Chain A
Amino acid sequence: MARVELKNINKSFGTTQVVHDVNLAIEHGEFTVFVGPSGCGKSTLLRMIAGLEEVSSGKIEIGDADVTGERAADRGIAMVFQSYALYPHMTVADNMTFGLRVARRPKPEITEKLASAAKILRLEDLLARKPAQLSGGQRQRVAIGRAIVRDPKVFLFDEPLSNLDAELRVQMRVEIGQLHKVLGSTMIYVTHDQVEAMTMADRIVVLRGGRVEQVGKPLELYNDPVNAFVAGFIGSPRMNFLSGVVTDARQIKVAGTEFVAPVASGLVRGQTLQLGIRPEHLAASNGVKIEATVNVIEALGATAYLYTTTDSGEKIVAEWRGALPQIGNRVKLCFEPGAVRLFAEGGERIR
């Protein structure tokens, strides 16, 4: 267990820079999730922490020791890979103890660590099998077991659930969460799935184009995003963005209606901006109304989502409670002005 600190990390492949000056402190015992669209540099960042990729410049500290130039095996980390990366020619037990055997640890220690890891992950009955004889979920547990056996200060997960089917993914999500509670270790988890990030993380790091966009607790990011990218990335279905025009100091015109914007400072008249409003905030019983035509209805049972188009042609997804309209019907979508998040044309948040 240890804290992890990244100081001014840069990474270039040839002339393309993929990670730009990342500074990040991950506290001891924290479950941190790196999330972002593909190509945002999250895996590269993780691989640099692991020691599989060199940093172009900057410093990585794990537990107050500078590990920037250390070998991966000496960093006190363990990693779980997307494809599990189990050694196909070895049994489960050999897979899990391979690192200890390479390090020439004494036999009793190896046996003991294997037994305790197998117990935590309920792998006792599978130890003699080869990876090919295991199901996807079992393989993933072996991969996690291989990490536990190393007794690392920091666990690194590189999209570990993306090869599993939906049901198993939910199950493994819970298992990894429980494992974090049991072990209490620092864990860094990379995913492109914002649901995984929201459900698992103590803290989320949102990355885009190799830069950190925002760091915070899941609900902080959800309720108080710093820019339109974070607002759009976190939350499912994603936030609706409508373009609006400032008609008076605080008055905004959007999709045929006008309302008083929930901002502290004045806006410039004539300024165009983006209004972000989440689907569930459009199910208010009163407030500002937007009229729209229903195109598609997704009835999920407990709730329903309407895919609509406004008269000005903007697409809006809205949560809907109560009696479902027909496709082609016009509906009134209501929202409280306080639920709206405003973003400048460039995407920065206007508070």
Chain B
Amino acid sequence: MAVVKSKKVTFAAGHLAAIFASLITLTPVYLVCVNALKSEAESAAMGPGLPSELHLENFVIVIEKGKLVTSFFNSVLYAGVSAALATLFAALAAFVLSRHRSRLNRAIYFFLIMGIALPINFFTLTKIMQLTHLINTKPGIIILYATLQIPFAIFLIYGFVESIPRELDDAATIDGCGPFQTFFRVIMPLLTPVLVTTFILSFLNTWNDFIMPLYYLNSSENWPMTLAVYNFFGQYKQSWNLVSADILLTIVPVLIVYLAGQRFILSGMTSGAVKG
């Protein structure tokens, strides 16, 4: 009996902890949701009460004044293109590094993987961005984001490549494929789950990033959503209703991407098995 009881207590305690943790994350989301629908006066206190009347026009105002349309497309461009580039290059690199385990390739692999842990040196990065004339340009920020995502992407894909039998490479060689055909026609289709995972994670990371555009994009027409929100907040900090609406609109796209892709994220992170 004592064992059953203590099990029940642990169970209940676990649930309490989970509920508490959920509250911590959900409270701000709730506050933003209700306040986005209030009038300016009502939202001034940023309280938890429900709005007395719905002010849906807040969203329209925000979209117009906050340059949300431009910044939305900027964000899609930066996150989408950089995630695609990072996934493609990481997959190519991971395939070669995993298949040819020479001492040099192992060294290269670990060098690339270090990028996950090591902090960015903004001083040298700025110098390089200036030197290459990539600072304050869209291609510049895309290349920068792709580069930042590559280490983790290689790490994810590398382990997955191992699970694809080498005999498939041999079979492709005998069927007349060169290295690139082998990769694009045989290996890449089998990597789909992990490639989708990599793409989504990298997309989300870039979408949520705030620092890079702050440093490397000066002109407001190049800003992604995160920076636009920040700027909007600076201008309208007395209008909490508008700020809340702005934050909500920024969250929605990334939420959609996450929900659409979460099935792949899980399967790509856990399973590595491709059995013929």
Contact = CB atoms under 8 A, between A and B. Distances in A.
B186 A87 contact: yes
B171 interface: yes
Interface string A61-88: 0000000000111000111011111111
A72 B174 contact: yes
B114 to A, nearest CB: 28
Nearest to B274: A88
Interface in B123-180: 165, 167-168, 170-177
A52 B168 contact: no
B190 A88 contact: yes
Given A81-B167, A89-B189, A52 B174 contact: yes
Contacts of B174: 50-52, 72-73, 77-79, 99
A139 B171 contact: no
A210 interface: no
A340 B175 CA distance: 49
A323 interface: no
B170 A102 contact: no
Nearest to A83: B167
B276 interface: yes
Contact of A98 (B165, B175, B274, B275): B175
B27 interface: no
Interface residues of B, number: 19
Nearest to A75: B174
Q: Among the interface residues A78, A98, A131, which one has the most CB atoms of the partner chain B within 10 A?
A: A98
A76 to B, nearest CB: 11
Nearest to B189: A89
A86 B276 contact: yes
A168 interface: no
Given A82-B167, A87-B171, A99 B276 contact: no
B276 to A, nearest CB: 5
B168 A102 contact: no
A120 interface: no
B267 interface: no
A139 B174 CA distance: 18
Contacts of A81: 167, 170-171
A84 B276 contact: yes
B21 to A, nearest CB: 40
A85 B167 contact: yes
B181 interface: yes
B165 to A, nearest CB: 6
Contact of B173 (A72, A84, A103, A132): A72
Contacts of A72: 173-174, 176
Nearest to A156: B174
Given A132-B275, A139-B276, A85 B173 contact: no
Interface of B: 165, 167-168, 170-177, 181, 185-186, 189-190, 274-276
Given A82-B167, A83-B165, 6 more contacts: A52-B173, A79-B170, A81-B170, A85-B171, A85-B276, A86-B276
Which 4 residue pairs of A and B lie closest in terms of their CB atoms, listed nearest first?
Answer: A73-B176, A99-B175, A85-B167, A85-B171
